[in-house]
Amino acid sequence: MSPALPGPTMASPVTPAPDTAGLPRLLPPAGKPADDLATHLGRHGPVPYRGGVGRLIPDVRAAGLTGRGGAAFPTYRKLEAVAAAGQGRAVVVGNAAEGEPASHKDEALLRLAPHLVLDGLQLAAEAAGAARAALYVRRDVYAATRLDRHLTQRLASGLDRIAVEVVPAPPRFLAGEESALVSRVGGGAALPQFTPPRVFERGVDGRPTLVQNVETLAHLALIARYGPDWFRAAGTPEEPGTMLCTLRQADGSVTVAEAAIGTPLASLLDLGPGTAVLVGGYHGAWIPAAHASGLWLTNTMLRPLGAFLGAGVLAALPADRCGLAETARVARYLALESAGQCGPCLNGLPRIAAALADLAGLGGRRPDPRVLADLSRWAGLVEGRGACHHPDGTVRFIRSALRVFAPEVRQHQQGRCSARSSVPFLPAPAGPSTDADWS
């Protein structure tokens, strides 16, 4: 889990690899914040600019870095596309919207190691030939960090070559979807837009735009310093590196941890008394705890089970809770969080959420005997029909619950529930969002 770091490679490093061998790489050692510039520079040295558009991209490609915002898309491909299309007028945006209530890793990174993210943003801007750079940060997190101070200091010290504008993101589930981000950074509402064109072709103000999760940018800053071989010393050959995970244990405790990809799930979560594990957050999937204990933190292993790592949310459901009720509460939240712009979200998700609530006994009614058939039919009708992936992700999450909690579903059809506690476990605001502001 914590491989020793090799020395610097010939490829690129300008700074010796940190002698704090192994993990953590992104987070400061012993959890001590590295949010002041002097501490950061003492640990990692100056920003290793490459002096030209595209020059960093071969290292990012060789490292095998993929996006940590959810889709695990190869970062070098987006960099190449934007560098080619941008002709020096591209826009680069670091995404710290972190709209999912169960995820806290971007917030932790910005609090503990903001300069790694800001280094990564500068390097990505250089590699993509960007004329504009922005950091899109959830409103409440922005208020709690000292980002303005950090940015002023970096600009004054000559560290940053391009000024970074901070754009506050509304605390909504969809605000971090890349077309919603582009709309918001362009001065509009944080609502998903109809694609194509994709944002790397036509994004903020019509310019090719590189959107990267802030954790991806922090990894990129380390790859630029220590090289692809160093990066690959953690993780698996197919999925190299580390990732930040938000771990919600069955006892309710929540931590953010950095783990090598390929780490056994059982060493991250206490799976003892749990019934099931949620992997990948609210667009992810449930897996039975007994099964999860034999799995690793890799998409290669999770994909055949209909699951994926997403943005690294892992939650072990306590044995005394009803997985169906948990899913129904989250599904209600997801339906309410939709932007209501397309048919699947206007008609489909509210119906699905209401049926699931009835099945879970949240509606105070005995479920209709046809509810399972209805759920399956409506799920099929919304899939692939939205402008964004919100309906698809929501349906994946619900389908996994019906599969994994099948014995509980049968009990509920008889009006029974085996849970000993009805205290909500997964965070999901109960009512309509109190924040109607999408700006």
**For residues 314 and 264, is the Cβ–Cβ distance under 8 A?**
no
Q: Kindly state the DSSP code that residue 264 receives in the 8-state scheme.
A: B
Angle at 318 between CA 317 and CA 324, to 5 degrees: 55
Binding ligand FMN (rule: CB under 6 A), the pick from 24, 64, 69, 391 is 69
Provide the pairing of β-strand 254-260 with 242-248. antiparallel
**For residues 328 and 358, is the Cβ–Cβ distance under 8 A?**
no
Residue 67's binding partner among ligand SF4, ligand FMN, none (Cβ under 5 to 8 angstroms by kind) is ligand FMN
Specify the residue, 92 or 185, whose C-beta has the smaller distance to ligand SF4.
185
Residue 401's binding partner among ligand SF4, ligand FMN, none (Cβ under 5 to 8 angstroms by kind) is none
Give the shortest CB-193-to-ligand SF4 separation in angstroms.
8
Q: Is 232 helix (H, G, I), strand (E, B) or coil?
A: helix
Does residue number 80 form part of the binding site for ligand FMN (CB under 6 A)? no
Looking at 78-226, which runs of residues are DSSP E strands?
90-96, 130-138, 164-169, 209-213
Does residue number 175 form part of the binding site for ligand SF4 (CB under 6 A)? no
How far is Cα 81 from Cα 208, in angstroms, rounded to an integer?
9
173-212 footprint of ligand FMN as x/- string (CB under 6 A): -x-xxx--------------------------------xx
Considering only 66-74, 83-91, 339-347, 352-360, which stretch makes contact with ligand FMN by CB under 6 A?
A: 66-74
By CB under 6 A, what part of segment 328-387 binds ligand SF4? 338-342, 344-345, 386-387
Q: Strands across the sheet with 130-138, in order?
A: 164-169, 130-138, 90-96, 209-213
Give the shortest CB-199-to-ligand FMN separation in angstroms.
9
Return the amino acid letter for 255: T
Q: Which residues pair with 95 in a beta bridge?
A: 136, 213
Give the count of residues interacting with ligand FMN (CB under 6 A). Answer: 21
Give the shortest CB-387-to-ligand SF4 separation in angstroms.
4
By CB under 6 A, what part of segment 383-412 binds ligand FMN? 388-390
Specify the residue, 385 or 420, whose C-beta has the smaller distance to ligand SF4.
385
Looking at 225-284, which runs of residues are DSSP E strands?
242-248, 254-260, 276-279
Q: How far is CA 185 from CA 42, 180, 357, in A?
A: 33, 9, 36
Can you give the binding site for ligand SF4, defined by CB under 6 A?
A: 174, 192, 338-342, 344-345, 386-388, 390-391
